[in-house]
Amino acid sequence: MKKIISFLFLIIISINSFSQNNRDLLIRNGNTVNNNSNKNKDFKTEKFNLGFNFGALFSTYGKEFDKTFDNTLGLNVGLDFFYKKIFIGFNMLFSSSKLKQDLIIDNFYLNTGKRSMINNGNIALGYTVYETNRFRLLPFIGYGGFGFVEVSNDNSDESAFINNVAFGLNFDLKSNKRTSNKPNFIGYYERSSFYLRAKIFVSNSIGKSSFKGNSINMGLNIGIEGSMFKNH
């Protein structure tokens, strides 16, 4: 519990620092921002946006997972597609843990003390419930699975997979948007922005496997997203 509280405290500090830096940047470049705002009135927003993000997530486990794995810190990679306020995301979390007890999933078996990869992936559907120029709140639900394989064993192709369902929340703190001065080779102007994402989601195993559990995952991602505009 102390680790979770410390991690959440780190998230709050990081978000506050990011917000302060961008506020200072906005003040120093007020004239530029105003000019860009006026120019953006001449553009029509496209319905589609594409984003990419990556970061570090802390995971804690429940049920049989908790008896088998330690808490982990893993690499999270995501790909986002937006259509108006509708969100479709592809999310993958890579982590590993030394086994506290034997890992047995159907015909897959790893001894206590060995290290197993814990890959947690899902396809998510969400909806933007709140958004301003600076903030975005995005709940989502998803379907995917846990994948397990022994770490550093090139001689084995054995692995195990368990389906899961996920639900969670993304809180995005966005930077100022930047618009290209010239159209690209297909005649569109491009707009992009960076964002800092505080992410929390729960993945719960489903299916017939006797090895059941869940993970609570939280952390910070850095991302970029972009769209294209065309003159009226």
Provide mean pLDDT across the span 104-111. 91
At residue 85, φ and ψ (nearest 5 deg) are -100, -5
For residues 99 and 3, give the distance between their C-alpha atoms in angstroms, rounded to a whole number: 20
What CATH number does residue 145 fall under?
Answer: 2.40.160.20
pLDDT at 231: 66
pLDDT at 57: 98
Cα 43 off chain centre by: 30
Q: How confident is the model at residue 97 (pLDDT cuts 50, 70, 90)?
A: very high
For residues 113 and 214, give the distance between their C-alpha atoms in angstroms, rounded to a whole number: 21
| Torsion sign, CA atoms 141, 143, 148, 152 | negative
Is the pLDDT at 20 greater than 80? The verdict is: no
- Name the domain count of the chain: 1
The rounded percent of the chain whose pLDDT value lies above 70 is 77
Is the pLDDT at 38 greater than 90? The verdict is: no
At 34, list the tokens. 């105003």
Contact 92, 101 (CB under 8 A): no
Contact 84, 56 (CB under 8 A): no
- Out of 5-9, 51-55, 120-124, least confident range: 5-9
For residues 114 and 152, give the distance between their C-alpha atoms in angstroms, rounded to a whole number: 10
Q: What is the DSSP letter of 152?
A: T
Compare 116 and 180 and report the one with higher pLDDT.
116
pTM for the structure as a whole: 0.77
Question: What integer best gives the mean pLDDT of the chain?
Answer: 83
Provide mean pLDDT across the span 114-125. 97
Q: What is the pLDDT of residues 146-176, one digit of tens each?
A: 999 998 766 567 899 999 999 999 999 999 8
pLDDT at 155: 58
For residues 126 and 134, give the distance between their C-alpha atoms in angstroms, rounded to a whole number: 19
Q: Interhelix angle for 2-28 vs 30-40, to 10°?
A: 90
pLDDT at 208: 87
The rounded percent of the chain whose pLDDT value lies above 90 is 61
Q: In DSSP terms, which residues pair with 131 in a beta bridge?
A: 136
HEC-encoded secondary structure of 106-118: CCEEECCCCEEEE
Is the pLDDT at 185 greater than 70? The verdict is: yes
At 162, list the tokens. 């368990």
pLDDT at 29: 46
Which residue, among 194, 208, 193, 99, has the nearest Cα to 161 in the 3D structure? 208
Q: What is the pLDDT of residues 192-213, one digit of tens each?
A: 899 999 999 999 999 988 899 9
pLDDT at 182: 81
pLDDT at 165: 98
Q: What is the span of the domain harbouring residue 142? A: 2-231
Compare 9 and 121 and report the one with higher pLDDT.
121
